[in-house]
A and B are shown apart, each in its own frame.
Chain A
Amino acid sequence: MKISFRCNGKPMQLEISPETRALDVLRDTLGLTGVKEGCGKGECGACTVLVDGLPVSSCLLPAAKLEGTEVLTIEGLRKPDGSLHPLQQAFLDEGAVQCGFCTPGMIMSAKALLDETPRPQVEDIEEALSGNICRCTGYGKIVQAVMRAAEKSEEGRHDG
């Protein structure tokens, strides 16, 4: 079947088989390997991407459901000038990255949160990232990073 959608700002038209997962389309067809597969069952969050601004587990999403949507993956997060998104910078600065396998999904979930709740409480961050497992960091620095990114974005808004 044919699907068309926008991915990281670019229009896509693809022929897919109906049982294909969105994850496979993104990784195998479009080469967006920043989208990770950690469990294939929606239990780890490594494959999280934003569809129309909302985080979804792309391993559970039939690719057919991408039809007409706007998809954002970790690859689309960098600013056009190549500089890092505040969340990417904050994850680096705060030491929220160890092995980095959970990081893309983690950052996408955090982005969806900050888009909706620019100044989150710790509880908001916990809820937003509750589907993203990290085995390396113990999560403390991830919470700090999201807090820091929120502060930075806020400053950015005021400065601008």
Chain B
Amino acid sequence: MNRLDLLDRPERRIDGEAKTTGAAKYTADLDVPGALQAAFARSPYPHARIASVDTGRARVLAGVRAVLTGADVRGERLGRRLQDWPVLCWDRVLFIGDRVAAVAADSREIAEEAVRLIAVEYEELPALLDMEDALRADAPVLHPDAATYRFLEGRGERPAVPHPNHQGHVAESHGDVDAAFAHAAWIFEHEFTTPRIHQAPLEPRAAIVWLEGDRVRVVSTNKAPFNLRDQMAATLGLARERIVVDNGTIGGDFGAKGLSTDEFVLYHLAKATGHPVRAVTRYADELTTTNPRHSSRIRLRTGVDADGRIVAHESHALFDGGAYAAGKPTVRLLVEGGVSTLEGYRVPAARHEAATVYTNQVPGGHMRAPGQPQNVFASESHLDLIARELGLTPLELRRRNVARAGDPTTTGEPWHGPDLGALLDRAATEIGADAPRTVGRGIGFALGVRHVGRGSATISLRLDRDGTIEVRTGVGDQGGGQHTLIQRIVAATLGVDPLTVRVRRLSTEGPPDPGIGGSRVTPVHGGAALAAAQALQEKLGGRSVADAARALSAGEGLEVSTRFDATAADHGACAHAIEVAVDAETGTVRVLRAVLAVDIGRAINPVGLRGQLEGGFVYGLGQALTEDLALSEGRVRAANLGDYKLPTIADVPPLRIVHLSNDHGVGPYGARSAGELVNPGVPAAVANAVHDASGARVHTLPVTAERVWRALRGS
């Protein structure tokens, strides 16, 4: 079979059968003999000093095997980059849900009962619940000992920040911004805000930790096991080699599974009891105490010339990082890059300031395209407002400003990626942008671009005598189809049936792997799979796979191991067009239909790709219309998935996806990443459509009926 024929055919998912029959074993399902269950005592205050912890009654409860408090792990802090989050708090708690004690018991019910018997005395401290308050000159400093915190970066230290309540801060510019603003024909300024939202994977976090001789064995839902191993080694003061991290089947991620918080104290509980100890996060705790997408407040200022061409741009973005920066893996401790307003446009001069801020709220983390949905909602709404002021259609303003190959983009880097004008034009045609509007209906556009990830990974192949090929990789499959992608690239390259290619994930005993995240797997692991298959091909010396297999003697295998480094800059892109109807009397928004014109390069898993694009759209629709992980006085109110309003299938309109994809991507066979491409643009497209339909401009997500109703009445 021709290799590209295989890639064009719908895939058979490697994990499909086990998941649909219920045979798949998730971390919470794993049968580890003698495992105890853990539960945690949590702070009810957003900021308080711990006066005393009395565990006496909990310790004597039948079935309780160990009770640990902050005093037992004093000084230990966890985190993906900056380790600022106490394993258990010993002197202060910094948000509602912060942990002060842990119990291991024979059952979860006993562990939870023991937690209720732990008496903690708190002295409440003034809470910083607002980013602006936290950045005042006289604001109390939430982390006075920050200088002593471990920063997991071999090459350097934590970048300096202007205020002690900053987690991360960046100020960067390109071009002569002041001169460009001075020459602008028009200057526009707008402000936008977005709330926290939750990743909401089906499977909550879970982990089991046990000691085996000198080894610490960990099975975790973490999607980057090597990173968790390194974090644990640093926090617990253990040699990396002593810790082995493995995964069960992972039931969804969306960024949530990058942060682990339980494994550290589970180690201590396992040590104290001599038993394996398991923690499975209750969904209420997932919603209220883990690492949701940061809320934001973004101010934009843009200068345009007389023809509506952008000449200067300025962004000031504040992201509420909550009590700890531990959830962010980036060196600058921003939500990924932090700077992504007007991505995909030609911006000759720009100045960006972005910061993440410590407050006494639930700690923020990474979520599908971190930072982009906030910035794209702001800048794509901003563009529509500018267009209307200039008397241009929103589409025309975008056409005049999209980046073409080599143009300076908002960060000053030259544009590498698809033809954005063509995508916008196609979306406009498909939605019927030129047709006369019905009263109460409107169309909104947004442009979304997303970098193709970079990095390196190792993949090994072994051809056995029976003609099967085993792929060994350190990367998991959290539901995104990663293993199927690797299998198909190997099969297509070697011209064999994908069913003869088995993918085996190794624990951290195998070669290091960066794990899932940052739109990385398709270019990096896909690239490694291609390189490994090509290396094996070479070893075949012109023979077919079957012939080479037959030539092997019993127990012998033909092996290659390839480390691949993906370095090229590239982007996927998506033009969104959404039609809505607005009920002017109630403000109710109905999304009638949507079009996505996308360029993601060559598809490797065509069915999975469609799932990523449709799923990304629905994910964005939730952020656009219903999702709001609101806190009141520091506590997340929606403690269940009935109150936290994810979109349901009834909320999803007919969706048309048009591919302008080609094989120009920098990934294997011309592929680009797809998983984080679509969701960022949806909220702005909805808000822009609402404006088009009704004249109501909503500057805050989600676009609720109430906000539309108020915007229509200027209240």
Check if A and B associate.
Answer: no
Residues of A that sit less than 8 Å from B by CB: none
The residues of B with any CB-CB pair to A shorter than 8 Å are none
